Amino acid sequence: MKQLLIAAAAALAIAPMAQAQELSIATGGTGGVYYPYGGGLAEVINNHVEGYSASVEVTGASVENMALIQRGDSDIALALADTVYQAFTGTGAFDGKQIAEARALASIYPNAVQLVTLADSGITSLEDLRGKRVSVGAPGSGTELSAQIILAANGITYDDFEPQRLNFNETADAIRDGDIVAGFWSVGPPTSSIMNLAATREIRIVGLTDDQIAKAREAEPTFAPYTLRAEMYDGMAEAVTTISTPNVLVVHADMDEELAYNITKAMFENVAELIAIHPAANDTTIEFTVDSTPIPFHPGALRYLEEVGAAVQDHQRP
């Protein structure tokens, strides 16, 4: 018996350790919410999904992330709902480049469009952007898509001002240095790059009127009104009305069903770990997911949602 135990112990000693399968999460720039949220999701997977480990990638955000999912270069991606819907249907920026294999795990929080300028810039409305240098977000990002839709719906095109395609940190630096007068963010508030700018300069968040919001929603139905609360950023004395777009956690239809189920379950059942990383995760709820997701859920995610009694909509079923 002793010899058998020794032999078993020796076999265990020389047996190779099971390697965790690595998952890649496509996020965005380090100055936005995607990167820290993705890091929090990676930790949830590492801690609660057996046999897998996850790490985050810095990317150009929504549009690039959809292409990464299609090519199989990333396993999970964060992307804005309008970008996700256009990719899934082959419309808008994805005309002729449909990504019909995209599936959702969840909608995780709303992105608020935040048009930021310095308090003394004289910019108080969309119309004031005409003839000025303005950042519309990183090239091909969800921020740029949202900015284009809002501006075009209200009669402003890139010919009417000098667009600069800068990421969040670059936009904040350019506003601070006077290289541009304003910049768009489409991100879960509050976001670090705006917080850092507000800590060194007096800023203004330029609100949208009810008419401007209505026109934008007519052009893009995934938009919804959103109010940025007072004191969200230093010097922001009053609440500001703007527009928002849900953020969707996207995978490829080929993802293993059990893996998709386990990731979805781990995220919703350990959401406190995500909130500890970023307050945007307060909106990571079952209710927000079924209210906001514009494309079909992955079968694994759908199984979890049905288990917890979620009222999944018809268009969200594969």
pLDDT, residue 277, reads 93
Contact 134, 183 (CB under 8 A): yes
With contact defined as beta carbons under 8 Å apart, do 116 and 269 qualify? no
Name every residue whose Cβ is closer than 8 Å to that of residue 230 and which is 6 or more positions away in sequence.
236, 237, 238, 239
- Please compute, for residue 41, the number of CA atoms within 13 A of its CA located in the half-sphere on the CB side: 32
Residue 9 has pLDDT above 80, yes or no: no
Q: How far apart are CA 65 and CA 54, in angstroms?
A: 16
The CA distance from 35 to 64, in Å, is 14
Task: For the beta carbon of residue 214, count every other beta carbon within 10 angstroms.
Answer: 13
pLDDT in the model for residue 223: 87
pLDDT at position 39 over 90: yes
112-245 belongs to which homologous superfamily? Answer: Periplasmic binding protein-like II (3.40.190.10)
Q: Which segment of 15-24, 111-120, 134-143, 156-165 scores lowest on mean pLDDT?
A: 15-24
- Lowest-confidence range among 5-14, 38-47, 143-152, 225-234? 5-14
Residue closest to 31 by CA, chosen among 148, 183, 161, 177: 183
- Residues 175-185 have a mean pLDDT of 98
pLDDT in tens, 209-232: 999 999 998 998 888 788 898 999
Residue 2 reports pLDDT greater than 80: no
Residue 201 has pLDDT above 50, yes or no: yes
Domain 19-108+249-316, what architecture? Answer: 3-Layer(aba) Sandwich (3.40)
Q: How far apart are CA 12 and CA 18, in angstroms?
A: 12
**What pLDDT does residue 4 have?**
43
Sign for the CA dihedral angle at 31, 33, 38, 44 comes to positive
pLDDT at residue 138 greater than cutoff 90: yes
Q: Looking at residues 161-175, what average pLDDT do you find?
A: 97
pLDDT-wise least confident of 6-20, 102-116, 152-166: 6-20
User: Is the pLDDT higher at 142 or at 17?
Assistant: 142
pLDDT digits (tens, 9 = 90+) for 251-293: 999 999 999 999 999 999 999 999 999 888 988 999 989 988 9
CA 162 from centre of chain = 26
pLDDT tens digits, residue range 45-82? 999 999 999 999 999 999 999 999 999 999 999 998 98
Q: Which amino acid, one-letter code, is at 44?
A: V
d(CA 297, CA 303) in angstroms, rounded, equals 9
pLDDT of residue 233: 96
Q: What pLDDT score does 283 carry?
A: 87
- Per cent of the chain over pLDDT 70 is 94
What pLDDT score does 82 carry? 86
Q: Which segments of the chain belong to CATH 3.40.190.10?
A: 19-108+249-316, 112-245
Confidence category of residue 110, pLDDT binned at 50, 70, 90: confident
Q: Is the peptide bond before 190 cis (omega within 30 degrees of 0)?
A: yes
| Per-residue pLDDT at 208 | 97
Segment 31-47 shows an average pLDDT of 94
For residue 174, what are the CA distances in angstroms to 133, 170, 196, 269?
10, 6, 13, 40
Radius of gyration for the chain, computed over Cα atoms and rounded to the nearest angstrom: 22
Question: Could you tell me which residue, 83 or 41, shows the higher pLDDT?
Answer: 41
**Contact criterion met (CB below 8 Å) for 295 and 84:** yes
232-241 mean pLDDT = 95
pLDDT of 190 higher than 90 = no
Give me the mean pLDDT over the 109-128 stretch.
96
Which pLDDT score is estimated for 305? 98
Secondary structure of the chain: what % helix, strand, coil (to 5)?
45, 20, 35
Count of CB atoms within 10 A of residue 124's CB?
Answer: 11
